[in-house]
Amino acid sequence: MKKINLNKVFTEYRDQILPTSPIKDRKYTITHSDETGDLFVTIGLKYAEDQITPIRDEVKLNWRIYNKKLFLYGEVLVDGAHLKGNEIIRNAIFIKEMPTALQAARYADQALFEKYPQLDHIPIYIQFYSKRPEFNKLRYFGTMKRYRH
């Protein structure tokens, strides 16, 4: 896995979210600039819909509890109405670039992970949404420990 350039990661906190609280309801919207390679991580109580472009290549993450266990859940849109691009290519790009997005999220929210180091051991699941069953999958991406810089 290639390491990201930390100088290209920009963090914005919204909705009264602080660097170390709360965990519950904390949502991440990860976007990027194709031109500059900059990665933008917006952390808030809601997803940063204003940061999402018509290309729809964002990654959305949030902390969830299932069967009394915490996990980091994410979503990407492989295909759908008004989306341009081939779903085969989009799916491959999301799989290839997910480590980059997760590194950006881990770095952007490093104060939270420093205060709660157990969060580095929480599993990450990303739902790839697609009309095609072969792409419409919940994928496991390890834990945030893997994405520390």
Task: Please write the tens of the pLDDT for every residue from 61-88.
Answer: 999 999 999 999 999 999 987 777 789 9
Residue 120 pLDDT greater than 90, yes or no: yes
Mean pLDDT score of the chain, rounded to an integer? Answer: 94
Q: Give kind and range of the element (H or E) at residue 65.
A: strand 59-66
| pLDDT score, position 30 | 98
Banded pLDDT at 53 (limits 50, 70, 90)? confident
| pLDDT score, position 55 | 82
Q: How many Cβ atoms are within 10 Å of 102's Cβ, its own excluded?
A: 26
The token pair at 138 is 């919940």
Residue 109 pLDDT greater than 80, yes or no: yes
Burial 71-101 (b: 16+ CB within 10 A, else e): bbbbbbbbbeeeeeeebeebbeebbeebbbb
| pLDDT score, position 84 | 72
